[in-house]
Chains A and B, each alone.
Chain A
Amino acid sequence: MGNTTSTPLVFVDGFDAARPGLPGADLSWLKDIREAGIKRFNGLGLPTPKLENWKYTRLKSLEDTRFQPVTDEDGMAALDHVPSLLPDPGGRPRLVFVNGRMRPSFWIEGDLPSGVHLECLRDTLARDPDWAEAYLGRLTGDDHQALVQLNTAMMDTGFALRVDAGVVIEQPIEVVFIGGLTNRPVAYFPRNLIVLAAGAQATVVIHHVGMGIGAYFANTVTEIDIGEGARLNHYKVQAETRDATHLSTVHVNVAKDAAYEAFTLSIGGRLSRNEVSVRLEGEGARAGLNGAYLMRGSEHCDNTTVIEHLAPHTTCREIFKGVLDDQSRAVFQGKIIVRKEAQGTDGHQLCKTLLLSTGAEIDAKPELEIYADEVKCSHGATTGQIDETALFYLRSRGIPEAQARNLLVQSFVGEALDEISNEDVRHAFTDKVLHWLPAACFRSDEWRGK
């Protein structure tokens, strides 16, 4: 598909044409940051393996497809049901995006308490542009991340969640991004903002799911600001199609005594990367950054995390479990940085991968960078195969081999899933893992009995 002499032109070319239809087209400050973003992206180009933290994930294939922006029509693609993660969405707030467009008919406002604003980015830009201006791009750090720059230029969808001080939302908020229902390769660029004021609490479940057969590229950026003593549970399932590329960048600020709990479950996507940077800025800030990836075929999944301890007595706990079958590939890069001020830091990181096939591969790079003297930090990465003794043990009790293997995979991933504090979500994610397994024989209600 032709002209790829200068690397990122695919997206840059489409910028001018897409611009008038993008949300907030009439806001001059937004025009400026979009302009700056595309310029910067043009200068940087798509990340290449020459960059230190892109050594193991190649985006070359993105250049070979001429992705087109999505249209309102794409957003109206026929859809008979919304794949909900949580049982009975009844009164639970839910936002649904189809091919990158908000679908109002699937929107459930739910019983949100007052002091909570949940809407799509387009509405936020129209309703409260000053607030959006204050937050957009505030947490994305310097401008070295090309994918963030590209998103800033092209952001055409996404949501904003704002929770006022002290407001506690009991119900998990579900946000569904459905891709793949187009007949041509499309790209969409969700930009999400989650801002919790002091003492607020929320649980957000983000579900990226591919339903059709079309190739698509989702480039998402999420900025999260967690105020003093606030708590955010941020759960994500990435279940894209085998033809999808999913690149996600998350930036999180955690204030004094605030908590950020994240779990990213990756179970589908030809090429995916979940990059998360967490800044523990205030004393006593905590982060639980966990995930699991289950890949097969020739899928590639990259989890890259940076947790930066900037204040005393901050803690982090990070557990990633990977299961790789066939020729699939995964990357885990986990960096914990402890700045000089962050005395009394407690950090723990673990990445374990289970290889189900000799063709599968993992590149794991755990890293500690410590500048403070009084810290407790540990990290580790292991790679192994199904334990033959355990397999024999199960089979010797009459459990058929395929079922025994599933059980061991389930057991392996379970250690990470256990980190999910929200019980409904933990069950929903366990179900997702069970469905990933070949011909799973175990019924989830039994697992729940555990």
Chain B
Amino acid sequence: MSKKKAKKMLEIKNLHVSVDGTEILKGLDLSVNPGEMHAIMGPNGSGKSTLSHVIAGRDGYEITGGRIIFQGEDLTGMAPEVRAAKGIFLAFQYPVEIPGVANTTFLKEALNAIRRFKGEGELDAMQFVKMMRAKTKELGISDDMLKRAVNVGFSGGEKKRNEVLQMAVLNPTLAILDETDSGLDIDALKIVAEGVNKLRSPQRSMLIITHYQRLLDYIVPDKVHVLAHGKIQRTGGKELALELEEKGYAEFDEAAA
């Protein structure tokens, strides 16, 4: 991986995305530098998850215009697993249950798949267990949760913590957290925020999608964007989140009208 300082982490230009013929993103621009933490806020249905899925490479979205450049490379047509191997990670808004597949098996396969892709050796069982032990402790994840099938029977908060665990294990360059704070109690929120803050580094960037400025008390963003009607309507600092909390998104309704 080349990590020239000058290179943007993520550069989205005039992105248009349709689902089943309906345009959801209508010329979205976004630019993230290495080491930056950006928050994206916006009303329900404004296209935040759509944006995160498109960056991660999910099928079923039609990109009708614009480009997504990750570390200087156009992502168009790149398979999700390749994006993952290149350092993109998406913490899902709704983590998926996979019955019959143990959480550890899943994590180990994922990590080793990425390591294989990068030409690094696979971790053996011992090395993996050792690494996991440290990470799970930090995130307050029990051994039981590791042994159980992926997300099956996990509480809402456990699912979100499990997403953060995956992020910590896979060690991405660009992490997108889609409402990872939703459904967390205040203690879990602090744990998750600590986990996220630990991963902050000059080489890593994060996109945090959230409805609550509360999270941003713990994870302080460099920038806050408002996504509404398929576009970034406004960009500001942390104070923008506070303003939104107070006034809601009415202003952007009018802007679109």
A residues near B (Cβ < 8 Å) are 387-390, 392-401, 403-404, 407-408, 410-415, 418, 441-442, 446-447, 449-450
Contacts and interface: CB of A to CB of B under 8 A. Distances in A.
A396 B98 contact: no
B96 interface: yes
A33 to B, nearest CB: 46
Nearest to B125: A449
Nearest to B90: A396
B58 A392 contact: yes
A430 to B, nearest CB: 10
A398 B113 contact: yes
Interface string B97-108: 011111011101
Interface string B111-124: 10110010000000
A449 to B, nearest CB: 7
Contact of A411 (B83, B101, B113): B101
Interface of B: 53, 56-60, 79-81, 83-85, 89-90, 92, 95-96, 98-102, 104-106, 108-111, 113-114, 117, 147, 149, 166, 170
19 contacts: A390-B96, A392-B53, A392-B56, A393-B98, A395-B57, A396-B80, A396-B81, A397-B106, A397-B170, A398-B81, A398-B114, A399-B109, A400-B113, A404-B81, A408-B98, A410-B100, A410-B101, A446-B108, A450-B147
Given A387-B96, A392-B58, A450-B102, 4 more contacts: A392-B80, A396-B89, A398-B117, A399-B113
B61 to A, nearest CB: 11
A395 B84 contact: yes
A397, A410, A415, A449: which has the most chain B beta carbons within 10 Å?
Answer: A397
A302 to B, nearest CB: 26
A407 B98 contact: yes
A413 B99 CA distance: 10
A77 to B, nearest CB: 39
Contacts of B111: 398
Contacts, number: 93
Nearest 5 Cβ contacts at the A-B interface: A414-B100, A398-B84, A397-B110, A398-B114, A395-B80
B81 A399 contact: yes
B105 A393 contact: no
A392 B170 contact: no
Nearest to B83: A396
B90, B92, B100, B113: which has the most chain A beta carbons within 10 Å?
Answer: B100
Nearest to B169: A397
A410 B99 CA distance: 9
Given A397-B84, A398-B114, A446-B105, A388 B59 contact: yes
Contacts of B106: 394, 397
B98 A390 contact: yes
Given A396-B57, A398-B113, A401-B79, A407 B101 contact: yes
A415 to B, nearest CB: 6
Given A397-B166, A400-B113, A411 B105 contact: no
A395, A441, A446: which has the most chain B beta carbons within 10 Å?
Answer: A395
B163 to A, nearest CB: 10
Nearest to A407: B101
A400 B79 CA distance: 9
B100 A411 contact: yes
Contacts of B102: 449-450
Contacts of B170: 397-398
A450 B98 contact: no
A400 B56 CA distance: 14
Contacts of B117: 398
Contact of A400 (B81, B101, B105, B147): B81
B84 A415 contact: no
Contacts of A449: 102, 104-105
Contact of A393 (B96, B147, B149): B96
A321 to B, nearest CB: 11
B105 A398 contact: no
A398 B85 contact: yes
A62 to B, nearest CB: 37
B56 A396 contact: yes
Contacts of A398: 81, 84-85, 110-111, 113-114, 117, 170
Contacts of B99: 411, 414-415
Contacts of B149: 411
Contact of A394 (B57, B83, B98): B98
Contacts of A390: 96, 98
A211 B92 CA distance: 47
B84 A396 contact: yes
